[in-house]
Chains A and B, each alone.
Chain A
Amino acid sequence: SAVISQKPSRDICQRGTSLTIQCQVDSQVTMMFWYRQQPGQSLTLIATANQGSEATYESGFVIDKFPISRPNLTFSTLTVSNLSPEDSSIYLCSATVSGANVLTFGAGSRLTVL
């Protein structure tokens, strides 16, 4: 299965700033996804990142707040903009290799907003 590297692994940011999270996969993958994981809550899908097209956002998530890039089949970035303390969470990158419903995850990026 694919190996996914995410960076930064953690960061502390001031409110009003932005953080960009990078996700690198060691092989070409069809679909990449960005999830948010908050304590006591299930993994929440933010958006699906497709190479060569705009990301598809889930209800409650908008491009202005969470712009996503997918320049090729192995890389994606998620930016969390205009940070507020409510954005403090773990953000996870994931991918599926063959289009099956099996997801591989990165280790996550832990964001704290002061």
Chain B
Amino acid sequence: QKEVEQDPGPLSVPEGAIVSLNCTYSNSAFQYFMWYRQYSRKGPELLMYTYSSGNKEDGRFTAQVDKSSKYISLFIRDSQPSDSATYLCAMSEGSGGYQKVTFGTGTKLQVIP
């Protein structure tokens, strides 16, 4: 079983739709949860960063963490064609200095105008 599971998609939605991207994980020691966005032929860029359980909102993006279910989500409201990219979830354990980051395989999203 992989430490982090992510549906690879592709996911195709019409412009304006609400998008839900999800990851599950098996390591209960993960405390830091991140979402990266990767455009074609570019490196991943950090989109959202959350610690422990709960929600975090940034504009049209909401990150949700449910540690009891080992499940994280990224919601995109009013999706735009510019949101078309691959979204990678990532997570790491906590406490003291750098901890190795484990990535999901990424979900490819296409927003159709």
Task: Using CB atoms and an 8 Å cutoff, list the residues of chain A in contact with chain B.
Answer: 1, 4, 6, 30-31, 40-43, 45, 92, 94, 96, 99-108, 110
Q: Which residues of B contact A1 (CB under 8 A)?
A: 46
Interface size on B, residues (CB 8 A): 26
The 10 closest A-B pairs by CB, nearest first: A105-B43, A43-B103, A42-B103, A101-B92, A42-B105, A107-B43, A101-B32, A105-B44, A99-B98, A106-B43
In B88-113, the 8 Å CB interface with A consists of 88, 90, 92, 97-106
Given A103-B46, A104-B46, A107-B41: A42 touches B98 (CB 8 Å cut-off):
no
Task: Using CB atoms and an 8 Å cutoff, list the residues of chain B in contact with chain A.
Answer: 2, 4, 6, 8, 32, 34, 41-46, 49, 88, 90, 92, 97-106
Give Cα A110–Cα B43 distance, bound, in whole angstroms: 11
B100 touches A43 (CB 8 A): no
A105 touches B99 (CB 8 A): no
Q: Which residues of A contact B106 (CB under 8 A)?
A: 42
Which of B6, B43, B97, B100 contacts A108, CB < 8 Å? Answer: B43
Q: Which residues of B contact A92 (CB under 8 A)?
A: 43-44
